[in-house]
Amino acid sequence: MKRRFVIGMSLSAVALFAQGPGGFGRGGGGGRGMGIFGGSNAYVTGAPFSAVEVVQTQEALTDGNTITRKYQTSITRDGQGRLRTEQTVTPPPGSAAQPHTIVTILDYPGQSRYVLDSSTMTAFQAPLRIPTAGAAPRGPFGGGTTRPNAPTVTTTTQPPQVVNGVLASGTLVVQTIAAGQIGNDKPIQISRQTWVSNDLKVPVQIRSSDPRFGTTVMDLTNIVQAEPNGSLFVVPAGYTVKQGRGGPGFGPGGAAALGGRQRRGPGGPQ
């Protein structure tokens, strides 16, 4: 049961990370790490920083009740463009599992992705491709083929302003689902406002709203523009590295599909 819980949390976290600025997910779009991973701008060199991403979602139920959730993720990027995120996993009440951390490292120069599970001292490794510059954004808000009866999308560019302590440029994207498209008797408007740091090239604030599900607000806080310690971007000594196509967040099958050979992390016994 403990292992199943760990894998489930890892898959959930990485799936949320993958939603970059172009996509809108259930509940208004995105989640933990939603502004950092994915898209052609995911690999940025020469702009190191560390910060804490805070994501808060709020969903209004039909009975008047409200569900609010809050997630925090530590994010670090070095001058080479290597990216690290770290979050604490708190097991549900009654679980025998202990709180632990899940770390994701995107080593673009080394073309490898690692997910480190502190509860099992295991690092899951998979190939990582460098994003193609100028690639078309994903998702219904990011362009692509227009489907028949597709919702209309309007984009408004907003003047630069200081957001969370850095100068950022803003974009407001509004999607309108016409009356009758999905059984709705009135038009539905879904909005997403994104502020991207001019220097860091990452979103520092995203506010999205979908009346069907609720609102999501992401803020990149405690931003420090400095080169981090290089040890943050390598597998720690003592970790077992499992290589293959599987592993948490690396596709169908999870850790069960991983198999393959194993070795110790740098500094550990070979």
pLDDT beyond 50 at 45: yes
Q: Which residues of 137-157 are buried (b: 16+ CB within 10 A; e: fewer)?
A: bbbbbbeeeeeeeebeeeeee
Q: Which residue range is the domain that position 32 belongs to?
A: 2-264
- The tens digit of pLDDT for each residue in 22-42 reads 333 333 333 345 456 655 568
Say if 270 falls within a structural domain.
Answer: no
| Position 46, amino acid | G
Q: What is the structure's pLDDT at 35?
A: 55
pLDDT beyond 80 at 245: no
Q: Give pTM, 2 decimals.
A: 0.74
Say if 269 falls within a structural domain.
Answer: no
Q: What is the structure's pLDDT at 134?
A: 54
Q: Are 113 and 121 in contact (CB under 8 A)?
A: no
pLDDT beyond 60 at 18: no
Say if 47 falls within a structural domain.
Answer: yes
Q: Are 212 and 225 in contact (CB under 8 A)?
A: no
Which CATH number characterizes residue 96's domain?
2.50.20.10
Q: What is the structure's pLDDT at 268?
A: 40
Say if 185 falls within a structural domain.
Answer: yes
- Checking phi first, is residue 68 left (phi over 0); if not, alpha (psi -120 to 50) or beta? beta
Q: What is the structure's pLDDT at 95?
A: 81
**Residues 196, 200, 205, 209, CA torsion sign:** positive
Reported confidence tier of residue 241, pLDDT bands at 50, 70, 90:
very high
Say if 138 falls within a structural domain.
Answer: yes
pLDDT beyond 60 at 152: yes
Report the percent of the chain where pLDDT is more than 90.
55
Say if 112 falls within a structural domain.
Answer: yes
- Checking phi first, is residue 17 left (phi over 0); if not, alpha (psi -120 to 50) or beta? alpha
Q: Which helix (H) or strand (E) holds 236?
A: none
- The tens digit of pLDDT for each residue in 164-212 reads 999 999 999 999 999 999 999 999 999 999 999 999 999 999 999 999 9
Residue 17 CA to residue 248 CA, distance in Å, equals 13
Residue 124 CA to residue 255 CA, distance in Å, equals 8
How many domains, in total, are found in the chain? 1
